[in-house]
């Protein structure tokens, strides 16, 4: 029961960020992954940065496409969708260029940008629908 409540708080914190703080944190995680792959080669740093990257972007994508599901299902489906996006964009980059550390970081940035923008677009369209559907009786 505690894990469910803790994940709900994490999800709510990520989703109610108005200043793109978690999008910037996602970009920082991409930078840390790039530095780790290029210079540091630390498994701990790589796992921590990758975990935070997946957590933030899976929450964004889960809420874009699976808004009516339970929080854990939304997170799992968002994670699967994130893996699909990473695979599709990574395959595209691999077909055009070789996929090295720099281009891998570019792929991560593209997916992070897409997931954040898609979430912000759905959040904006919902608020527009609520304001335009007010009836004056």
Convert the pLDDT of each residue in 6-49 to its tens digit: 777 888 888 887 778 898 999 999 999 999 999 999 999 999 99
How do the domains of the chain map onto residue ranges? 2-132
Q: Which residue stretches of 16-100 are H helix? A: 21-35, 43-65, 71-96
**What are 1-4's contacts with CB under 8 Å, separation 24+?**
4/71, 4/72
Q: Whole-model pTM?
A: 0.79
């Amino acid at each position: 029961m505690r894990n469910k409540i803790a994940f709900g708080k994490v999800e709510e914190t990520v989703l109610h960020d108005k200043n793109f703080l978690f999008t910037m944190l996602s970009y920082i995680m991409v930078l840390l992954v790039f530095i780790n792959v290029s210079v540091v080669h630390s498994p701990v740093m790589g796992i921590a940065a990758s975990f935070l990257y997946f957590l933030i972007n899976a929450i964004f994508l889960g809420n874009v496409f699976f808004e009516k599901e339970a929080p854990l299902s939304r997170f799992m489906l968002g994670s699967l969708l994130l893996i699909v996006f990473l695979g599709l964009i990574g395959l595209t980059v691999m077909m055009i260029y070789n996929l090295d550390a720099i281009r891998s970081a570019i792929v991560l940035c593209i997916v992070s940008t897409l997931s954040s923008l898609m979430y912000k677009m759905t959040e904006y369209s919902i608020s527009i629908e609520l304001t335009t559907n007010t009836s004056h009786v």
